[in-house]
Every structure is written in structure tokens, then in C-alpha cells.
């Protein structure tokens, strides 16, 4: 099983492969797998966009680290995702 702690570069493709290995049964029809993959990438894109908005520095300072508010927002998102799927499996919906 692949994990985020492996030395491979962290990419959405890597995360999808790990998710698919854990959560998508091997006998899942190809059309369903592709639909889940598109949904996974859409979620990743939405999360990335939100995270970039959180840490965007309006003054353009590339050395500015995240603020306490930004870190709180990131923590809140992590908690929300954990609550969505508390057992580590697919969440509701």
C-alpha cells in the first residue's frame, strides 16, 4: 500500500492511487472508477484553490509564513474532513 510518507513526490495522482487502492474495490466497473477519479480530482482542485486563497499574501511577500488565522483555517478543514469520514473510509454522501 502506498502512503503519503513514502519517498515518492506528493501529487494528486499519487494520492488518487493510494485512495483507490484503499477504498475502491478491485471489481468496481471502469466507468464508476473514472467517475470517482474525476470527483477526487475536483475535490483536490477545490481544496488547493481554497488553501492558496488562505495563504495568499496581499502584499506579495514571498517570505511571509502563514498567520495564526490561516493555520486555524487549515486545522478546521482537517477536522472537518476527519469528521466527514471518522473511520478513515469514505464519508457520507
Mean pLDDT within 60-87: 78
Integer Cα distance of 18 and 15 in angstroms: 5
- For 92, half-sphere exposure in the C-beta direction (CA atoms, 13 angstrom radius) is 3
pTM over 0.75: no
Integer Cα distance of 39 and 36 in angstroms: 5
What's the length of the chain?
A: 93
Q: Please give the pLDDT value at position 89.
A: 53
Q: Please give the pLDDT value at position 1.
A: 47
The C-alpha cell 469514505 sits at 90
Considering only residues 92 and 32, tell me which one the structure prediction assigns the higher pLDDT. Answer: 32
Rg of the Cα atoms in the chain: 16
pLDDT digits over 10-62, tens only? 788 888 999 999 999 999 999 999 999 999 999 988 888 888 777 777 777 77
Residue 51's Cβ-count burial label (10 Å; 0-12, 13-18, 19+) is: middle
pLDDT for residue 66 is more than 90: no
Amino acid at each position: 500500500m502506498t502512503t503519503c510518507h513514502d519517498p515518492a513526490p506528493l501529487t494528486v495522482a499519487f494520492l488518487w492511487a493510494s485512495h483507490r487502492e484503499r477504498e475502491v474495490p478491485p471489481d468496481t466497473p471502469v466507468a464508476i472508477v473514472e467517475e470517482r477519479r474525476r470527483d477526487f480530482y475536483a475535490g483536490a482542485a477545490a481544496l488547493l484553490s481554497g488553501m492558496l486563497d488562505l495563504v495568499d499574501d496581499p502584499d506579495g511577500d514571498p517570505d511571509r509564513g502563514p498567520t495564526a488565522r490561516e493555520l486555524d483555517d487549515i486545522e478546521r478543514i482537517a477536522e472537518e474532513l476527519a469528521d466527514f469520514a471518522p473511520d478513515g473510509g469514505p464519508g457520507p454522501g
